[in-house]
Homo-oligomer: A and B are copies of this chain.
Amino acid sequence: MRVAVLGAGTVGSQVIRLLQESADDFAARAGAPIELVGIGVSSIEKEREPWIDRSLLTTDLAGLTTSAQIVIELIGGIDPARDLVLSALNAGATVVTGNKALLASHGPELFEAAAASGADLYYEAAVAGAVPVVYALRESLAGDTVTRVLGIVNGTTNYILDEMATKGLAFESALADAQRLGFAEADPTADVDGHDAAAKAALLASLAFHTRVAIEDVDTEGIRSVTAEDIELAESAGYTLKLLAIADRLAGGVSVRVSPTLVPHAHPLAAVRGSFNAVVVEAEAADRLMFYGRGAGGAPTASAVLSDVVAAASHKVRGGNAPRESAYAALPVLGPEDALTAQQIRLRVSDEPGVLATVAGAFAAHGISIESVRQLAAENGDAALSIVTHVARAAALAATVSDLEAAASVREVVSVLPVESA
């Protein structure tokens, strides 16, 4: 089985190492030897890991792509990854990729190219690193109806929120620490603004609901506006603040979002620390499942890539195809206004009789029922309230917040955060 690796960075170099070290195991599992025929790179001269056979290096990525039966795309980004993946699929080669940005922005085009030529496209490594949640949704839950997927799918933001919680740091300090330690990139936008999580949310929702969901369909909010006070108050109320990707199958369609969310301490996601990832899947028959592991890093991501390679090789040797991407359900994708969630609203209000009645009236006017009201420490003579609602439509909540902002006795709507139940 002729395999080409495009890209020899953190993940690519680990893939190459493991292909060499475990060659006999992979051959036994796949039913045929897996031969590395070339490594596509942008520079031949650059220093490489010692196990990389320099005679396999080439800068002719397009040529390499057409000479392999399985192409492992690990260069990332859209250009030239898109063209290379398309030409491999058009030629009938199997493609294994960890490129979530490419899938989230050009997924339909790639899946159609694969279907047209009968080629397979695998991407376990694109969501939650070593955690085999793509397999789980494509295969293990094929006999069930998934109602919900929610997960911690970005290790950088999970690490930053953890540091803020345990050390009481402000967002900017925790980000600077994470950058110094290599847990966050110099340009942290993709992570901290939630774009990376949104790409994964779109992939998870597409698989879970057999419906095409694009990254543009994901209502996305990152963690830049999270304050140390948000986290401190959350902890004191029994919650951990996590950046969650959430995909819900509602009566009217599919709702997908990424948002900082209050997770009760008893919820299995609350205990997911540092750079680990975890995805909870709720299904009608299976009830709640959780998949947990390392969401990034060279070796863990390489593990996911190579599982796809072994599966791909096995299918080529023994016949059959990977499970097809199916969008047969084609459920409507709802806008952010249709999301259903409980929310915590923090308010600064004037400390005077009747203010609670005004506030409660604003919620009631939009049909939102209140689960709890907590009075927080007062500031400068104002009162502070934390209100947790029952599950409500996002549009109703937004209208309520708008009314509260206009109310004379409300000084400020300090924060609005969705709340999960245990």
A293 is an interface residue with CB less than 8 A from chain B:
yes
Identical subunits present:
2
Top 6 closest A-B pairs, CB basis? A320-B320, A143-B306, A132-B140, A143-B307, A285-B303, A286-B303
- Contact status of A290 and B287, CB under 8 A, knowing A135-B135, A143-B18, A311-B139: no
Complex Cα gap A222–B140 (Å): 30
Interface residues of A in 112-131 (CB under 8 A from B): 124, 130-131
A300 is an interface residue with CB less than 8 A from chain B:
yes
- Contact status of A290 and B289, CB under 8 A, knowing A141-B307, A308-B143: no
A245 is an interface residue with CB less than 8 A from chain B:
no
Which B residues lie within 8 Å of A140 (CB)? 124, 132, 135, 304, 307
From B26, B297, B310, B326, contact of A29 by CB (8 A): B326
Shortest CB-to-CB span from A37 to chain B, Å, is: 18
A101 is an interface residue with CB less than 8 A from chain B:
no
Interface centre among A287, A311, A314, A329 (most CB of B within 10 A): A287
A 268-302 to B, binary, CB cutoff 8 A, 1 in contact else 0: 10010000000000011111111111100101101
A366 is an interface residue with CB less than 8 A from chain B:
no
From B26, B145, B286, B299, contact of A25 by CB (8 A): B145
Which B residues lie within 8 Å of A304 (CB)? 140, 143, 286
A136 is an interface residue with CB less than 8 A from chain B:
yes
Interface centre among A141, A145, A302, A324 (most CB of B within 10 A): A141
From B286, B300, B302, B329, contact of A300 by CB (8 A): B286
Tell me the nearest residue of chain B to A129, going by C-beta: B286
Q: How large is the interface on A (under 10, 10 to 19, 20 to 34, 35 or more residues)?
A: 35 or more
A305 is an interface residue with CB less than 8 A from chain B:
yes
Tell me the nearest residue of chain B to A276, going by C-beta: B288
Do residues A143 and B326 form an inter-chain contact, with CB atoms below 8 A? no
Which B residues lie within 8 Å of A290 (CB)? 290-293
21 A-B interface contacts by CB (under 8 A): A18-B143, A22-B145, A26-B142, A26-B143, A132-B289, A135-B135, A140-B307, A142-B311, A144-B303, A285-B306, A286-B300, A286-B303, A287-B293, A287-B297, A288-B294, A289-B291, A292-B292, A315-B320, A318-B321, A319-B319, A320-B321
